[in-house]
Amino acid sequence: MPGRAVDREDRAAMSNDSIALRSAAEWGPLRRLDPSMALWLLMIAVLVFLVASPTARLLVSSFQEPETGHFTLANYRDAYFNLRHLTALGNSLELGVGVALMAGLFGVPIAWAISRTDMPLKGFIRLMVLGAFITPPYLAAIGWILLAGPNSGWLNKLWMILSGEVHGVFNVYSMPGLILVVSVTSFPYVFVLTNSALDLVSSEMEDAAQVLGAGKLRTALRVTLPLVLPAILGGLIISFLESIALFGAPALIGLPARFNVVSTQLWQFFEYPVRVETAAAFAMPLLIITVLMFWLQRSVLGRKGYAAVTGKGGERRMIQLGAWRWVMLAHALLVCSLSVLLPMTVLLQAAFAKAWGRGFSFDNLTFENFRYLLFEQTQAQQTIINTFLYAGVTAFAAIALSLAIAYVVNRRLVPWSNVLAFLCVAPFVIPGIVLAIGFYAAYAPPPLALYGTGTILVLAFITRFLPIAYTSSAASIRSINPEMEEAVRILGGGRLLAIRKVLAPLLKKSLAGAWILVFIPAARELSAAIFLVGPNSRVISVMLFDLSEEGNFEVLAALGTILLLVTLVIAAIGFRIIGRDFMLRRSV
Amino acid sequence: MTCILTTSRRDILKGGTAALTLGLGATVAPWSVRAAEMTSHEKDLYEAAKKESELTWYTAHSDDVTAQALGRKFQQLYPGIRVNVVRTTAQVAFQRVSQELKAGAMQVDVLSSTDIGHYVYLKEKNLLEKFVPENAGKVFDIYKGYDPDGFYYVTSAGLIGMACNTSKVKLADAPGNWTGLIDAKWKDQIALGHPGFSGYVGTWTVTLRKLYGWQFFEKLAKNGPRVGRSINDTVTLLNSGESTIAGTAANNSTVESMRKGNPLAMIYPTDGTVLILAPSGIMKGAKHPAGARLFMEYLMSVDASQIWVEHFNESMRPEVSPPSGVKSAKDVKPIRPTVEEISKGIPEVIKQWRDTFGV
């Protein structure tokens, strides 16, 4: 059935249009009053509640006096007439640019090697990239603190043994250190976009270049890569945006390194006395930069590169790299080591160690850290349950909402459906920590008084991940031919019956993929949670942050391992039912 | 360094020293019999608290392990009441309290901060619930009557000295007093907590600013110390070999780690060990008022002091002897600013710290 549906898609799209036109003409006046209008109102109300209202509240409160609510510019003065705050802003930009460049350096060669060459071990490398993708940056940060602490890190100890020096060479507590830590978790964005663009490039242009005498390297640099330049830029921009919005990794590394970034500075505004208004004012550059960059990325990616021109029609052959394929493999393995193999090894060692500094030996092996967390810590059990419960509820809710909206938008059941679509993807441009401030300002105090409840966390998470849910849902809905539902309706069935009996079964698989795509980031989300959790609604990410104050890396690593383990199981299920690359393909 | 003690505090300390000495000789009451000994006041509280079924405790008084042990012991003594133990640094705990106040949704029932200024502020704003625990009269004299109006009570005490990793430096070579920290030979080897997080470190900063002026910290900053957040983090840094000297080391967490076999030594500076008296109080509008009261009683009980001592903290009660072979407040030269100096000083030094240390 699905196969036939796709075959007929073109015709269906046309008939769909004409039906929509006809029905609008015939029932136009009635429609204004019929349930679809109520449906639209309901959906818009939900979206305003989730997206528009917290954002508006953020904007408004940045101009308000804390006590009186009168208009003022004082918040902006407090936020920007301070050298330390401005330095934090500069640091965020430095971090963003550094991460974008590093992510490019890491991601582009691997994408090229996998898509266009005969490099060996492609399957393994892809798996590692997926691993990097599901690793929360704050766990990578903890891994790298264990690896590159200036005196105690494993890499430095190794260096000291090999070189006989008394000081290490790597210092994770520095801007370059932070850039590395964030890059190793965000290069998958560059990889994915570049890789999928390269998959569309046919070999003909490369052949032409080689006929004209260009070598393989020259061909790659002068012909292939320029073809996918827009995709690469798109990936770099996403890495940039991800990194300037991060809170966990900068908090873990920036503080001992003695610098702030925007997110950690925002956190400071929440110290006593809580200055939400100043925080709102200080969040504005993050919001504006994100909107601008997102717009830039859209317009760059909008051109689809030059690759789309050639399409999939051409012949694609893998380039024979000869000895160079080992060079490419070495690069890929280096990146995989930096991003997954090394940090995960030391993280696991610490999780099962009595004292991580005592190294890899059997007498240092213990389950005590897990026992402590699961049976002695009064909060951990509840926290672990909360984490996956909230992530699960978030995923169901976000998908139900976005699916309903994608359906009415695609089938044009209501007027002004593009407003709905816009609101669904708008949270793309709101960094998590900024969203949390908006939610705090809008829904923490009465009348809703949601502060400290699981509800406010789930609502914030739904908003944060609505764009992912919506893009997935919209793509699935587009792939379903309306003819089949129409058949149900012609035979007398209602729309709900059509949705339940026809649409739902067809969408099952792709919705499972979308569910996982929302679940995984929701389970690890820190920045949107940090200002909203209460003692009964704590989640793993926040607990990790609290525990990290004492630097108790063994327990931290154990908690991180639990988080990763559940994530891996969920990802593996997705892997089974949906296919290996489902996350990488669809998340960006 | 008695010069920084106010008259009243000095008197209290003297009295306290006597009481602490007395405490040495006393034997520990077996706690298995205490359930039967529940006073009627305690029984009433327990019955009322059971109806609330849980309570939330924000604590900065100890590391997570000790805090969880205290919470578990309470649950064991009073079945049917769950304690949410949220251990953070003092300023993070207070940040959450402030957020809750601003949102009008009080989540915490009992607040155990290490920054006395928090209580001064909360009391002034009429945000604390007045409650006089029965046990308040049974603690060492030094801890009695901290707030004459009965809004908060000392429920924990600790010492801040220095510590060193003895596999890297001999105790004899380590700095013997605070000013030793600014010696250039410790460049890049010192670990510190952060006054913007830890109430212990905040009080320490106020004390040392008073002793040596802010220039001390400017010189200290030139030595490139590794600044963490909690005071307990410095022990982690010593254990991992990341740092050699802990410029701020809590007596209890250092000794506990030492007893686990880590190569550490505690240093009690010749110019004085900073004494922290950390209070607890019940928040006004707390969701579990009876549970909160019962918990206040518990914090000053023999049972809680047992746990404190097991984790090398000071005992609150004369019935419980301090752990053997560990120095406590009576064995060292304690220094401590006045309540007013701390509550006024900590917000100031946080600002100064950020300017001097960059974060």
β-pairing, B152-165 vs B273-283, is antiparallel
pLDDT at B224 over 70: yes
- For B2-38, how does the pLDDT look when each residue is reduced to its tens digit (9 = 90+)? 333 344 444 444 444 443 433 333 344 444 445 557 8
Cross-chain residue pair A259–B358, CB shorter than 8 Å:
yes
Residue in the block written with tokens 């578990």: B72
Strand-pair partners of B86 = B58
Window from A372-376, A381-385, A551-555, B207-211 with minimum mean pLDDT = A551-555
- Distances in whole angstroms, Cα of residue A433 to Cα of each of A94, A248, A437: 19, 10, 6
Cross-chain residue pair B95–A272, CB shorter than 8 Å:
yes
Q: What band does A6 get if pLDDT is binned at 50, 70 and 90? A: very low
pLDDT at A21 over 80: no
pLDDT score at B32: 42
- The reply to whether A265 touches chain B by the CB within 8 Å rule is no
Q: What band does A22 get if pLDDT is binned at 50, 70 and 90? A: very low
pLDDT score at B322: 87
A304-308, A431-435, B197-201 — most confident range = B197-201
Share of chain B above pLDDT 90, in %: 82
CB atoms within 10 A of CB A438: 28
pLDDT at B100 over 80: yes
Please give the mean pLDDT across all residues of chain B. 89
pLDDT score at A198: 87
Instruction: Give A315: exposed, middle or buried? Use CB within 10 Å, 0-12, 13-18, 19+.
Output: exposed
Tell me which of B61, B64, B239, B353 to substitute to probe the interface with A (most A C-beta atoms closer than 10 Å). Answer: B64
Please report which residue ranges of A303-379 form alpha helices under DSSP H. Answer: 307-310, 324-336, 342-351, 368-371
pLDDT at A485 over 60: yes
Cross-chain residue pair B188–A268, CB shorter than 8 Å:
no
pLDDT at A349 over 80: yes
Angle at A117 between CA A115 and CA A120, to 5 degrees: 100
Window from A491-505, A555-569, B152-166, B307-321 with minimum mean pLDDT = A491-505
Cross-chain residue pair B84–A270, CB shorter than 8 Å:
no
pLDDT at B49 over 50: yes
Please give the mean pLDDT across all residues of chain A. 86
Measured between CA atoms, the residue of chain A closest to residue B58 is A535
- For A91-122, how does the pLDDT look when each residue is reduced to its tens digit (9 = 90+)? 999 999 999 999 999 999 999 999 989 999 99
Q: What band does A554 get if pLDDT is binned at 50, 70 and 90? A: very high
Residue in the block written with tokens 């639990």: A562
**Taking residues B121-147, what's their average pLDDT?**
95
Window from A28-42, A298-312, B293-307 with minimum mean pLDDT = A298-312
C-alpha A566/C-alpha A583 separation (Å) is 16
Measured between CA atoms, the residue of chain A closest to residue B109 is A535
Window from A221-225, B87-91, B209-213 with minimum mean pLDDT = A221-225
**Taking residues A273-289, what's their average pLDDT?**
90
Please, which residues 34-73 of chain B have a Cβ atom closer than 8 Å to chain A?
56, 58, 63-65, 68-69, 71-72
- For A454-474, how does the pLDDT look when each residue is reduced to its tens digit (9 = 90+)? 999 999 999 999 998 998 888
The answer to whether the CB of A547 falls within 8 A of the CB of A562 is no
**Continuous segment of H or E residues that includes residue B159:** strand B152-165
A175-184, A236-245, A504-513 — most confident range = A175-184
Strand-pair partners of B245 = B164, B190
Contacts of A355 in chain B (CB under 8 A): 239, 262
Contacts of B233 in chain A (CB under 8 A): 549-551
pLDDT score at A302: 63
CB atoms within 10 A of CB A225: 17
Cross-chain residue pair A254–B359, CB shorter than 8 Å:
yes
- The reply to whether A447 touches chain B by the CB within 8 Å rule is no
- For A52-94, how does the pLDDT look when each residue is reduced to its tens digit (9 = 90+)? 999 999 999 999 998 888 999 999 999 999 999 999 999 999 9
pLDDT score at B34: 52
- The reply to whether A392 touches chain B by the CB within 8 Å rule is no
C-alpha A501/C-alpha A478 separation (Å) is 18
**Higher confidence at residue B227 or residue A498?**
B227
C-alpha A24/C-alpha A36 separation (Å) is 12
- The reply to whether A67 touches chain B by the CB within 8 Å rule is no
Please, which residues 74-93 of chain A have a Cβ atom closer than 8 Å to chain B?
84
Angle at A3 between CA A486 and CA A309, to 5 degrees: 105
Cross-chain residue pair B237–A551, CB shorter than 8 Å:
yes
The answer to whether the CB of A314 falls within 8 A of the CB of A320 is no
pLDDT score at A139: 96
- For A114-164, how does the pLDDT look when each residue is reduced to its tens digit (9 = 90+)? 998 999 999 999 999 989 998 999 999 999 999 999 998 999 999 999 998
Share of chain A above pLDDT 70, in %: 90
- For B328-351, how does the pLDDT look when each residue is reduced to its tens digit (9 = 90+)? 888 999 999 999 999 999 999 999
pLDDT score at A301: 64
The answer to whether the CB of A372 falls within 8 A of the CB of B78 is no
Upstream peptide bond of A256 is cis (omega within 30 degrees of 0) = no
**Taking residues A191-203, what's their average pLDDT?**
85
pTM of the model: 0.87
> What is the amino acid identity at position A343?
P
- The reply to whether A377 touches chain B by the CB within 8 Å rule is yes
pLDDT at A581 over 80: no
- Nearest CB to A547; choose among B64, B83, B194: B64
**Higher confidence at residue B178 or residue A356?**
B178
ipTM: 0.85
**Taking residues B231-247, what's their average pLDDT?**
93
pLDDT score at B178: 97
pLDDT score at A135: 93
C-alpha B175/C-alpha B269 separation (Å) is 8
